[in-house]
Amino acid sequence: MDGLKLRSVGRTDLQLSALGLGCWQFSNGRGLIGGYWSSIAERGVREIVETTLAGGINWFDTAEIYGRGGSERALAHALSTLDVASDNVVIATKWWPLGRRAASIAQTFPERVSCLSPYPITLHQIHQPFSLASIPSQMKEMARLHEQGLIRAVGVSNFSAAQMRAAHKALAGYGIPLASNQVKYSLLDRRIERNGVLDTAHDLGISIIAYSPLEQGILTGAFHRDAERLKVLRGARKLQVTAKRIETSRPLIDRLETFAKKYEATASQIALHALVTLHGELVFAIPGASNVRQAQENAGALHISLTEEERSEIQELSLRVVANG
């Protein structure tokens, strides 16, 4: 096939590419969360966005907490500079709940609109299950935005199986489906398959949006090819990308590299494609990109066609590596 087709998000009418672009790295180095990444120049952001769209990806995921709105503004500015029509792109963003009550969702929404103008917020998500308010109260506020036509879909992020069910039940009272749960998921992190999140998504028709789908770069194979890269890591990433994890994941990376040669692709492209096809059309993924090459690689993952046997082999190796890790 010539690329993965657009797929529905949960039980909504949204049609998105299997991959979106995660935009945390557009935070311009601002804030406690945004400071995780170095600043990317305006031209660099524009080129990444342009390359992403040209490759067949039609949506972008950002958040209020990413640079205190800096990521949202950078994304909107890049799209505007490229003269992208608002109906040709989908934006997902997230409300930061820590220390806030549900009323903050409506109170902060105008700022989200301002940061992303002239692009509408299509999918609005609760970023973490840490609000001072109950899940039903948060869903009530999200439902109001939906009923006013200000958003088209409601999602959550980092919610447990029980929290997903609570959100789904609350929204159902307003006749609105819970579209998605954004969680950490990759070929090297399969916790959602054991803690009930994936099963709940299946049962309720809720899409999974996988963040960190390349496991902080481990699944690119770059650290396996050059161990010296480990020495320049900093911050939280240094704690996640360790020599032990590089060694235990080597059998999987070696196989990804073999398939990459066969398809004239990269290990990261094989890993991304395998992830978003493991469970039919249930899983989306939002890899980031800090340069044009990474944006090209992300989009290229949409245009690979692994066989069932190859997917099964990757699946088995992935499970074995995770069990041994």
List, in sequence order, every residue forming a beta bridge with 283; answer none if it has no partner: 208
Amino acid present at 228: E
CA distances from 183 to 41, 265, 277 (A): 28, 26, 16
Structure token digits, residue 170: 């609350």
CA distance 274 to 183: 17
Q: What distance lies between CA 121 and its chain's CA centroid?
A: 16
Work out the end-to-end distance of the chain between its first and last CA atoms, rounded to an integer number of angstroms: 34
CA distance 163 to 170: 11
Spatial neighbors of 11 by CB under 8 A, at least 6 apart, are: 177, 179, 205
Q: What distance lies between CA 177 and its chain's CA centroid?
A: 20
Computed on alpha carbons and rounded to an integer, the radius of gyration of the chain in Å comes to 19
Check if 66 is active-site.
yes
CA distance 256 to 83: 37
Catalytic amino acids?
66
